[in-house]
């Protein structure tokens, strides 16, 4: 019996020693773990202060994993999430901190503020009331509770105004709602709808944009934005937003149907602009005409297409067509100086200088800082002044875009017609000589690239006033005489 007691006593002593050793080991592990957690919290605090949010967050993750029952670690991690703008991620951490410590007022206030910004006014009210129960004089909770009441009242009033079709009244009330609840997608969506109904598309876009981020799957907002941009003529933005819709669900039928339409139109418009850059004006015109057929309902695309076709026709020197299309484009968009510029250039090619001056003057009034408009006006004015004196193109009867071969051909025909040898009386010979000199001068000027460039700029290279001090082409009208001493008996060389 004594032996058994001694044996049991020995076993109990061994167990007690084992427990003591185990307790010491656990204490050591807990101390090491606590020190490690404190190290993570301290590093997180420093990194947060330095603005290195991602790095700070990783340390707070480690601290939470190391001690999942420490309410402060959740609260601090929530602070990092908020600094990163991830308010949805902050809410679960704040809720966990409140669960672990129900009287943690700072966490309740922070959660209430987030809920109010999200538009969850009922839950926000509960948090602010809970704070006031523990701290009746808490000023922040009192102020936020008043804001909750304002949001509820304004939102209710806005909904009623919308039902009455008082859209501007609804917009005014929603201003206060969005001021206090900027993360509430429903308030922004309602205001966007009101803006749409009063025709303020740009404001509707500005309200809808944030909602794409305020909801996890907001394909409806992406599609609506895409259609809005499309109706405003911004096909690039429209394509970008409908693609975002398809990223969320590539099988979304509404998004895919709209995508096909926008993609087709965008391709036509983009190719047309590429052709213009390459000076392939006929190809560009074809693409713009196709774009009108692709989307005949949206006026903005037809207006822009007409403007660009006007430009292409002017550049390709199809003057009559250019004037007609540019006039139509101007009627659609009377405040567009580029249309006036292109029509003015067509008028110049058509030798209608007074109309060109008028268009450039109007374009300059619309865009006074544009040097191209100023230079164009000066050129048109010079050409108008010159046309009242001597017009080399008219002398030969050729268009301003005539090439060198056409100029020479016209010259030969007229020179043969007006050669003085073809006339009998002295008076007729003198008149023919005068015309012949003008014809020969016109040929010299229009076949010389440098002199022709001056003519096209509105100058007369054979005018003594323009030649003063110049070392080039010293041919005054009274000196330019292909007959020398006036002996008309030789045969003129028409080359």
Q: What is the pLDDT of residues 423-464, one digit of tens each?
A: 888 888 888 888 888 899 889 989 999 998 888 887 888 877
Work out the angle at residue 65's Cα, subtended by the Cα atoms of residues 61 and 66, and round it to the nearest 5 degrees: 115
Residue 221 counted as domain residue: yes
Q: What integer pLDDT is reported at residue 20 of this predicted model?
A: 43
* 327, part of any domain: yes
pLDDT band of residue 489 (cuts 50, 70, 90) is: very low
Q: Is 325 inside any structural domain?
A: yes
Q: Are 361 and 379 in contact (CB under 8 A)?
A: no
Under 8 Å between Cβ of 460 and 386: yes
pLDDT tens-digit series, residues 90-116:
999 999 999 999 999 999 999 999 999
Is there a single domain that holds both residue 383 and residue 484? no
The number of distinct structural domains making up the chain is 4
Residue 295 is encoded by which pair of tokens? 């989307």
Check whether residue 332 and residue 380 sit in a common domain. Answer: yes
From 158-162, 219-223, 375-379, 393-397, the region with the lowest mean pLDDT: 393-397
Q: Strand, helix or coil at 220?
A: helix
Q: What is the pLDDT of residue 486?
A: 38
**409 and 452 belong to one structural domain:** yes
Task: Give the residue numbers spanning the domain of 96.
Answer: 16-150
Look at residue 7 and tell me if it is in a domain.
Answer: no
pLDDT band at 163 (very low <50, low <70, confident <90, very high): very high
Mean pLDDT of the chain: 86
| Mean pLDDT, residues 362-377 | 91
Domain contains 276: no
Instruction: Give the CATH number of the domain where residue 363 resides.
Output: 1.25.40.10
> Is 452 within a domain?
yes
Q: State what percent of residues in the chain have pLDDT above 70.
A: 87
pLDDT band at residue 30, thresholds of 50, 70 and 90? very low
Q: Per-residue pLDDT tens for 186-197?
A: 999 999 999 999
pLDDT tens per residue across span 170-212 = 999 999 999 999 999 999 999 999 999 999 999 999 999 999 9
Residue 177 falls inside a structural domain: yes
DSSP single-letter state for residue 198: T
Give me the CATH number covering residue 402. Answer: 1.10.287.110
Which position has the higher pLDDT, 471 or 228?
228
The angle that helices 426-446 and 449-456 make with each other, rounded to 10 degrees, is 100
Spell out the long-range contacts of 272-281 with Cβ–Cβ below 8 A and sequence spacing 24 or more: 272/308, 273/308, 276/308, 276/311, 276/312, 279/315, 281/312, 281/313, 281/315, 281/316
**What is the reported pLDDT for 19?**
46
Residue listed under structure tokens 């936020």: 144
Does residue 368 sit within a domain? yes
DSSP letter for each residue of 118-186: HT-HHHHHHHHHHHHHH-TT-HHHHHHHHHHHHHHHHHHHHHHHHHTT-HHHHHHHHHHHHHH-TT-HH
Helix axes 105-118, 139-163, angle to 10 degrees: 20
């Amino acid at each position: 019996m004594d032996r058994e007691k001694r044996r049991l006593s020995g076993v109990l002593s061994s167990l007690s020693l084992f427990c003591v050793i185990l307790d010491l080991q656990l204490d050591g592990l807990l101390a090491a773990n606590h020190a490690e957690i404190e190290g993570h919290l301290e590093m997180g605090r420093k990194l947060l202060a330095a603005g290195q949010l991602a790095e700070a967050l990783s340390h707070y993750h480690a601290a939470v994993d190391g001690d999942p029952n420490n309410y402060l670690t959740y609260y601090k991690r929530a602070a990092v999430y908020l600094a990163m703008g991830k308010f949805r991620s902050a809410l679960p951490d704040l809720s966990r901190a409140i669960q672990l410590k129900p009287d943690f007022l700072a966490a309740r206030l922070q959660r209430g503020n987030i809920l109010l910004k999200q538009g969850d006014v009922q839950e926000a009210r509960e948090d602010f009331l809970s704070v006031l129960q523990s701290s009746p004089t808490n000023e922040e909770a009192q102020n936020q509770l008043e804001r909750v009441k304002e949001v509820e009242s304004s939102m209710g009033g806005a909904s009623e105004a919308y039902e009455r079709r008082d859209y501007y009244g609804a917009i005014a009330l929603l201003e206060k709602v969005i001021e206090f609840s900027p993360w509430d997608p429903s308030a922004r969506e309602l205001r966007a709808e009101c803006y749409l109904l009063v025709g303020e598309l740009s404001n509707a876009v500005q309200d809808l944009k944030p909602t794409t981020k305020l909801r996890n799957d907001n394909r409806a907002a992406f599609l609506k934005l895409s259609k809005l941009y499309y109706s405003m003529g911004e096909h690039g933005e429209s394509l970008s937003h409908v693609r975002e819709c398809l990223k969320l669900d590539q099988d979304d039928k509404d998004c895919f149907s709209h995508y096909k339409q926008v993609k087709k139109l965008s391709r036509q418009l983009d190719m047309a602009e590429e052709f213009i850059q390459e000076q392939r004006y006929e190809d560009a015109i074809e693409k713009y005409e196709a774009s009108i057929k692709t989307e005949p309902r949206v006026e903005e695309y037809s207006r822009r297409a007409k403007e660009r076709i006007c430009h292409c026709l002017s550049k390709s020197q199809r003057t009559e067509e250019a004037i007609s299309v540019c006039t139509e484009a101007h009627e659609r968009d009377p405040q567009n100086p580029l249309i006036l510029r292109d029509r003015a250039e067509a008028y110049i090619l058509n030798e209608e200088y007074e109309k060109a001056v008028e268009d450039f003057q109007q374009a300059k009034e619309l865009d006074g800082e544009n040097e191209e408009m100023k230079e164009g006006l000066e050129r048109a004015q010079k050409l108008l002044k010159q046309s009242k004196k001597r017009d080399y193109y008219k002398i030969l009867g050729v268009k301003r875009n005539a090439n060198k071969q056409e100029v020479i051909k016209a010259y030969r025909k007229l020179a043969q017609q007006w050669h003085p040898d073809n006339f009998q009386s002295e008076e007729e010979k003198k008149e023919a000589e005068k015309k012949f000199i003008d014809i020969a001068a016109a040929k010299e000027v229009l076949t010389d690239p440098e002199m022709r460039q001056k003519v096209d700029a509105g100058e007369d290279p054979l005018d003594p006033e323009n030649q003063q001090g110049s070392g080039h082409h010293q041919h005054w009208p009274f000196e330019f005489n292909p007959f020398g001493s006036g002996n008309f008996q030789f045969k003129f060389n028409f080359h």
